[in-house]
Structure 1
């Protein structure tokens, strides 16, 4: 007995010593900078003169949820940056918008996400406040990870938290039934990060390399298995956690119901009946998945489906096809029920079952959170048969119009909390125009979605939808100018598409269109080298159209100058480029002394001068002549002209400035 006790005491002592050793090593490793997971907020720059600091949400923060993956899936674990300056104005109202890829804005640029629309709308409806909406959408995360993001986001001291989640409980990262808390805890240890570095990623998965393959590899979710109840409970628990976090922080919470493409998107997976069942369904599918379906053909197909249903009815593909037939026959209410039934019977539920919205509504009521009933808003806006391609671009992701409707629905819920004036809102089209909803990006988005639906496992029942999206891309493509088409063709998926198109349009001297695309690029990548370039070129587009800057445009130029000031010491930007940008922007404002100071300083950097010869010298020549330094202008023209082999051209620029 004594010997047994000694053995157990030895084991306990070994366990305690081991645990203490791990805790001690972890404590030491936390002193090593850059070793652990990236924090949510990072400091980028400080302006000693103004006492202001530039911060951003780290694009690497999201990688804590993707640590076990490699390839394109790991690359997806980069969250879009949100830049902000502290100290903030006293009247700031900050909203944190949390969710997965729908919140992120996929497949659109982030400036066209609901968070951006919400910021623009709320700013109109509440002009007394300085509104800021922080987009914390992260690709493919389930509600457990969403709750973790909310907890970390409280460091931002938000005035409101908005959560849109529920579609990724089966296949998302940290989805239901995957030892969420333990897995996440171990992945956040600095010791785990050290071991990963030393051993090249212990436990890291080489396959699958992207989200489509990852979801396909996880297989089906049986209709009557425990997985569905587990997913509902996981969603319920995580939304309760979100509610409790906000309650403790005394931050109001808006919970959103979720929307799926019922009337357009077909099930990803479906059970099947016997051979007789398959024959009838196959005949109906051949009719109903073609382009135009005559009413008499739809009637015949429906009869085939009803005969199949008499044999066996609990099949997602069967109900989806019935919905299409009923829709074509004008029986829209019946079609809506069929489409929703198809979603609930999908054995690969990329779209959340309808029960998930019941969970969201129940938790909102239980905790006194404000409910933004997005599902109802979309059903009201959609045709009777249900939400379809009018508002969606795939199974759960919104079109740009859908993102705007999501934002407006959330805004109406905020009106229950704050004294905002909804009567000040403009049309959805006005907000889309201001944020830069452009055909070139719709072409790319529709092509991307069409290609996705053509992949396994989506292609089995959604081949007709893949073809439809490709047709939409072709139709949008016909609206593009020749310069826009060339810009799309030359884009290499590095940097914003709109910036590549804008540069092409500027080269072709289509300054009006270039101005619109540069404005969109400036919104898309603020506080970056590309964003500063877009600001300069945007201003030159206005100048080349011989138009004067409006007061609003002058304010935008000054905002870009402030960005350039913060980025002047960023190695990724470079001092010479910052001087170039500042000089150009001051030139556009006709503030000659600072314009000449910065342009000349940029010009005297030899490597930079050769790279940006024409863009730089065009403004510098104007400022030198204005300052009475004509001979310096000619000397600089001969210098740079000799370096690039165009001396006569650069001298002509100077002489053009001397003409009355």
Structure 2
């Protein structure tokens, strides 16, 4: 018994000594967090000039202030402005998302937000409708979430969300600190260190920069949160993408958490919300990067690399190409390149779009989902948007608009084609819709506003919209479309990781 008591006392002494050693760090951490809380007691709404919008002009007699997207954000956003407080008899809609929302490769003048504004104003001439385009190039959901909190302070009558394609572009999660392939213990340590304000201060002192976190206004005095550099913005950026299902799954889970918070925020503020399922082309767009299974045996790895080089060789016989692709999938069921080769072959064999086979669909979707450089929303992200949107719509003014199913028909056909593949005719590249695609999205969005009682559709309002839309497009000029073509070429080079070509030449 005395020996047991002595041993117990020894452990108590050791634990007490450790606790006393950590006590100063705990006190410093609590003190720093208390100071941060005092400095950031107001919500992060961007009203201090570090947000997306900035006040540029005040009208003293009326007491109104004009807000516009800061010129400092012009690398990522198109110009947009509004007046605060909101004028009487005005409805204001903010559209949030990435480059699809912005209207790339063109600009906001032919984005679905603009056509939605034309539709609403044509259908209801008694009110003024503002549809404000907040689409940021390469912006992922975490950045869009901050913009959502900002625009909620500017009297919105509705919010439209179109997100999901940009989730894998930045060094997110542990990879922000170069730890994508770290062990679980290393990841936990880095996560804990990243949460510590004391560690953040030490980093600031050591590096002379602010690394404590961009979501807090006190650590983002210049609004650098809105500036970003994606992996593909760096020379040879494609090399940063490695085949890692664990990392992919973590990003998808983070997207789910972020979208859920955004929906809950709008519900709490009682702001009507439209959530769009992002659409992408899987027929004309091959995977941007292909890698064999990193866990394969050396002999299997050598075979897969040699087989893939034979497949992409233009002189390879088609029969041999398909045989090798099937052999690849027997060894590596997640080989994106082999899936695309077989999926595209099955798709091309179908005599009509209506008869798109299950094999074509399965392989084409898998080629997108297993792309080592995922520049398109995966099936998991699409289903996450559908699930969250459908659940929220049962108890609040939240409406789901399913763009892949909306595009599940050729542009010139009236009836839908139930093959679960968005028709490639709606896209100018891997994710960006054609101008006709943007008009189609705007029409579908307007149906939601009609069900909300914003207007009543009729032949008269439809004719008025068509006329207004024609007049709007006629004012853009040939130069506008030429710039869009140039941006498209640049976008294709960027998406190829500055290598000059995609994995499979189109």
Common topology (TM > 0.5): yes
Partner of residue 252 from structure 2, selected from 232, 246, 263: 232
Residue 415 of structure 1 aligns to a residue whose secondary structure is helix
Structure 1: gaps (5+ residues): 63-74, 290-296, 466-660
Residue 397 of structure 1 aligns to a residue whose secondary structure is coil
Partner of residue 415 from structure 1, selected from 447, 450, 454: 450
Residue 158 of structure 1 aligns to a residue whose secondary structure is coil
Closer/same/farther in 2, CA of residues 212 and 414 from structure 1, 3 Å limit: farther
Alpha-carbon contact 2:115-2:442 (below 8 Å) kept: yes
- Equivalent in the alignment of 1:90: 88
Is the counterpart of residue 377 in structure 1 residue 410 in structure 2? no
Distance apart, 1:313 and its partner CA: 4.9
The alignment's TM-score, normalised by the length of structure 2, stands at: 0.71
Alpha-carbon contact 1:453-1:462 (below 8 Å) kept: no
Query: d(CA) in 2 for partners of 1:366 and 1:192?
Result: 36
Closer/same/farther in 2, CA of residues 447 and 39 from structure 1, 3 Å limit: closer
Query: d(CA) in 1 for partners of 2:195 and 2:31?
Result: 24
Query: d(CA) in 2 for partners of 1:391 and 1:458?
Result: 26
Query: d(CA) in 1 for partners of 2:301 and 2:31?
Result: 62
- Equivalent in the alignment of 2:381: 356
* 1:208-247 equivalent positions in 2, closer than 5 A: 211=233, 213=235, 216=238, 218-222=240-244, 225-247=245-267
- Equivalent in the alignment of 1:402: 437
Is the counterpart of residue 265 in structure 1 residue 289 in structure 2? no
Query: d(CA) in 2 for partners of 1:14 and 1:305?
Result: 59
Residue 213 of structure 2 aligns to a residue whose secondary structure is helix
The alignment's TM-score, normalised by the length of structure 1, stands at: 0.56
Closer/same/farther in 2, CA of residues 351 and 8 from structure 1, 3 Å limit: closer
Distance apart, 1:387 and its partner CA: 3.7
Residue 95 of structure 1 aligns to a residue whose secondary structure is strand
The higher relative CO (CA closer than 8 Å, separation ≥ 6) is in 2
Closer/same/farther in 2, CA of residues 349 and 130 from structure 1, 3 Å limit: same
Alpha-carbon contact 1:404-1:428 (below 8 Å) kept: no
- Equivalent in the alignment of 1:425: 462
Distance apart, 1:191 and its partner CA: 5.5
- Equivalent in the alignment of 1:644: none
- Equivalent in the alignment of 1:601: none
- Equivalent in the alignment of 2:70: 58
Partner of residue 268 from structure 2, selected from 237, 241, 248: 248
Query: d(CA) in 2 for partners of 1:322 and 1:79?
Result: 39
Is the counterpart of residue 392 in structure 1 residue 421 in structure 2? no
Query: d(CA) in 1 for partners of 2:91 and 2:169?
Result: 35
Alpha-carbon contact 1:400-1:437 (below 8 Å) kept: no
Partner of residue 449 from structure 1, selected from 488, 491, 500: 488
Query: d(CA) in 2 for partners of 1:428 and 1:220?
Result: 47
Query: d(CA) in 2 for partners of 1:49 and 1:219?
Result: 56
Give the root-mean-square deviation of aligned CA atoms: 4.2
Distance apart, 1:321 and its partner CA: 2.0
Partner of residue 339 from structure 1, selected from 356, 364, 367: 364
Alpha-carbon contact 2:67-2:84 (below 8 Å) kept: yes
- Equivalent in the alignment of 1:464: 505
* 1:225-624 equivalent positions in 2, closer than 5 A: 225-272=245-292, 282=309, 285-287=312-314, 302=322, 305-306=325-326, 309=329, 313-330=333-350, 332=353, 333-334=356-357, 335-368=360-393, 369-381=398-410, 386-387=421-422, 389-423=424-458, 424-426=461-463, 431=469, 434-435=472-473, 436=475, 438-454=477-493, 455-456=496-497, 459=500, 461=502, 464-465=505-506
Query: d(CA) in 2 for partners of 1:59 and 1:22?
Result: 29
Query: d(CA) in 1 for partners of 2:26 and 2:321?
Result: 71
Residue 103 of structure 1 aligns to a residue whose secondary structure is helix
Residue 441 of structure 2 aligns to a residue whose secondary structure is helix
Is the counterpart of residue 101 in structure 1 residue 99 in structure 2? yes
Q: How many residues align?
A: 431
- Equivalent in the alignment of 1:38: 50
Distance apart, 1:437 and its partner CA: 5.3
Alpha-carbon contact 1:45-1:55 (below 8 Å) kept: yes
Alpha-carbon contact 1:260-1:396 (below 8 Å) kept: yes
Partner of residue 79 from structure 2, selected from 81, 84, 88: 81
Structure number with greater Rg is 1
Structure having the larger proportion of residues in helix:
1
Is the counterpart of residue 157 in structure 1 residue 155 in structure 2? yes
Closer/same/farther in 2, CA of residues 396 and 185 from structure 1, 3 Å limit: farther
Alpha-carbon contact 1:59-1:80 (below 8 Å) kept: no
Question: For 1:454-509, what per-residue CA distance to the aligned partner results, in whole angstroms no more than 9, with x for missing partners?
Answer: 443665535634xxxxxxxxxxxxxxxxxxxxxxxxxxxxxxxxxxxxxxxxxxxx
Partner of residue 47 from structure 1, selected from 59, 63, 84: 59
Closer/same/farther in 2, CA of residues 355 and 206 from structure 1, 3 Å limit: closer
Closer/same/farther in 2, CA of residues 425 and 213 from structure 1, 3 Å limit: farther
Query: d(CA) in 2 for partners of 1:412 and 1:377?
Result: 13
Closer/same/farther in 2, CA of residues 282 and 177 from structure 1, 3 Å limit: closer
Closer/same/farther in 2, CA of residues 10 and 151 from structure 1, 3 Å limit: closer
Query: d(CA) in 2 for partners of 1:175 and 1:37?
Result: 27
- Equivalent in the alignment of 2:207: none
Question: For 1:61-91, what per-residue CA distance to the aligned partner results, in whole angstroms no more than 9, with x for missing partners?
Answer: x6xxxxxxxxxxxx73x43332223454432
Alpha-carbon contact 1:401-1:428 (below 8 Å) kept: no
- Equivalent in the alignment of 2:133: 135
Closer/same/farther in 2, CA of residues 12 and 319 from structure 1, 3 Å limit: closer
Query: d(CA) in 1 for partners of 2:343 and 2:405?
Result: 20
Query: d(CA) in 2 for partners of 1:216 and 1:130?
Result: 46
Distance apart, 1:131 and its partner CA: 0.7
